[in-house]
Amino acid sequence: MESVFATERLKELLPKVKAFVEEELIPLEKEHTTRPFKQTEKILAEKREKVKALGLWNLHLPKAEGGQGLTLCEFGQVSEILSLAPYYGQYTFNCQAPDIGNTELISRFASEKIKEQFLHPLLEGKIRSCFSMTEPEFAGSNPTRLATTAVREGDEYVINGHKWFTSSADGAAFAVVMAVTNPEAKPHERASMIIVPTDNPGFRFVRNIPIFGETGEGWASHAEINYVNCRVPVTNLIGQEGMGFRLAQERLGPGRIHHCMRWIGIAEKAFDLMCQRAATRELEEGVMLGEKQFIQGFIAESRVEIDAARLLVLRTAYNIDQVGAKAVRDQVSGIKFYVANMVLKVLDRSIQVHGGMGLTDETMLANLYQHERGARIWDGADEVHKQSMALNILKSYGLDIRKKR
């Protein structure tokens, strides 16, 4: 059934995107876990050229920047389709995290010089980028306690610090680094975002961190990095000094819609596999797995949870389009934890229905679960979003807990 949120231009666009994903990407993903990464990169470079030729490149961008000028609500629906190829979809269409967030940030807040140097090659797909905020020594859930500093010396910032979980740093051309520039300011006005090219001698790549025993490469990696007397021109600052947290929020609002829609696409995939297995796995002679009520419960609950999640996300995207992310930040928090839990629940049920096979690489389920488990942690852990939402709700009832602290 057609989405109530599908606009006229989406009705034209979505079938094209879906056809490309189904014909060009989904068959490729079957060998994702066994094909060497470099080979995958080469194959996808060709697919990216095809996407450009079809006029489907950078769909998320305004028309002035070569995109289609889709609203967030429209792009969310594209993102869901791309996630039917969860490993390659977003990357092939040049709208993968963290590049998509960095693109929006630089496009809206950086100087023309910075745009020329970093944004344009990013939009053309010639380079990749990363976002470097989290530090091992301090709780990422409270980023006002960052230890990385950027001290101004003449026309340069000198950056020193230790970061980890800088996703996609391996092979990236630059990092957007969050560092303290104004230590005496109020906690939320201390940090700034500064662009650091990764060929800078002060940018010291330490390693890609193994996650659940798997060490990713390229855009599918999470790096530990040291910044050692790393000197960059002050013109590499994004926005103003002390604006880091504000920019982080600007970056995260739409970013959470992208992620949530990606999870919905993944949940649909897991759901489809679950139903196929339930309908075809013979339990006893002539009795299929799907005839058991436990399994029917998995199916019915998953269907409703995916649909509810989609409606919640599209409502939030629609509202961001109308009034901006800040005005609906509780809705953004709500979808972040609700959809992250939903996709893991559906993946888990689908694994369960597949039995032992669900834990192997015979299906994508185990690998997807492993990849997406972080959803409940990054971009704000569940507990942080729930707390923030509850504090705002209680404030509207007259209990201002933040003020009491």
Beta carbon of residue 28, minimum distance to ligand FAD (angstroms, whole number): 23
Q: Of 76 and 255, which has the nearer Cβ to ligand FAD?
A: 255
**CB closer to ligand FAD out of 68 and 134:** 134
DSSP letters, 323-337, are H-TGGGHHHHHHHHH
Least Å from the CB of residue 367 to ligand FAD = 14
Rounded to whole angstroms, how far apart are CA atoms 109 and 128?
19
Which among 77, 65, 62 is positioned nearest to 10, based on CA atoms?
A: 77
Per CB under 6 A, the segment of 49-57, 139-147, 296-304, 328-336 that binds ligand FAD is: 139-147
CA distances (Å), origin 192, targets 83, 85, 99, 239: 32, 35, 18, 8
Alpha-carbon distance of 210 to 88, in angstroms, equals: 20
**Host H or E run for residue 192:** strand 191-197
C-alpha closest to that of 288 among 298, 297, 278: 278
As a whole number of angstroms, the distance between CA 243 and CA 223 comes to 25
* Stretch of 13-21, 316-324, 371-379, 395-403 contacting ligand FAD, by CB under 6 A: 371-379
Stretch of 136-144, 200-208, 228-236, 291-299 lying at the interface with ligand FAD (CB under 6 A): 136-144
Spell out, one character per residue from 207 to 246, where the chain touches ligand FAD: x when CB under 6 A holds, - when not: ---------------x------------------------
Encoded one letter per residue, x for contact with ligand FAD by CB under 6 A and - for no contact, window 91-110 reads -------x------------
Q: Using the minimum distance from each CB to ligand FAD, give the nearer residue, 43 or 127.
A: 127
Comparison of 200 and 388: residue with beta carbon closer to ligand FAD: 388
377 binds ligand FAD (CB under 6 A): yes
196 belongs to the binding site for ligand FAD (CB under 6 A):
no
Closest-approach residue to ligand FAD (CB) = 140
User: Measured between alpha carbons, how far is residue 175 from residues 10, 144, 171, 220 in Å?
Assistant: 33, 20, 11, 15
Binding residue for ligand FAD, selected from 246, 387, 391, 392, defined by CB under 6 A: 387
Among 77, 132, 198, 316, binds ligand FAD (CB under 6 A): 132
**Residue 166 interacting with ligand FAD (CB under 6 A):** yes
Token representation of residue 282? 């013979």
Q: Are 83 and 90 in contact (CB under 8 A)?
A: yes
Q: Please report, to the nearest 10 degrees, the dihedral formed by the alpha carbons of residues 317, 319, 325, 329 taken in order.
A: -100
Nearer to ligand FAD, 7 or 226 (CB): 226
Asked if 374 touches ligand FAD (CB under 6 A), the answer is yes
Question: CB 333 → ligand FAD: shortest distance, Å?
Answer: 12
Query: Residue 205 interacts with ligand FAD (CB under 6 A)?
Result: no
Which regions of 53-114 does DSSP assign to beta strands (E)? Answer: none
**Smallest gap from residue 237 Cβ to ligand FAD (A):** 18
Long-range Cβ contact pairs of 368-372 (< 8 A, separation 24 or more): 368/86, 368/266, 368/269, 368/270, 369/344, 370/211, 370/212, 370/214, 371/86, 372/263, 372/266, 372/340, 372/343, 372/344, 372/347
Residue 33 in contact with ligand FAD, rule: CB under 6 A: no
Choose, by CB under 6 A, the member of 76, 140, 255, 290 that binds ligand FAD: 140
Which residue(s) pair with 160 in the sheet?
149
Binding footprint of ligand FAD on the chain (CB under 6 A): 98, 131-134, 139-141, 165-167, 222, 374, 377-378, 381, 383-384, 387
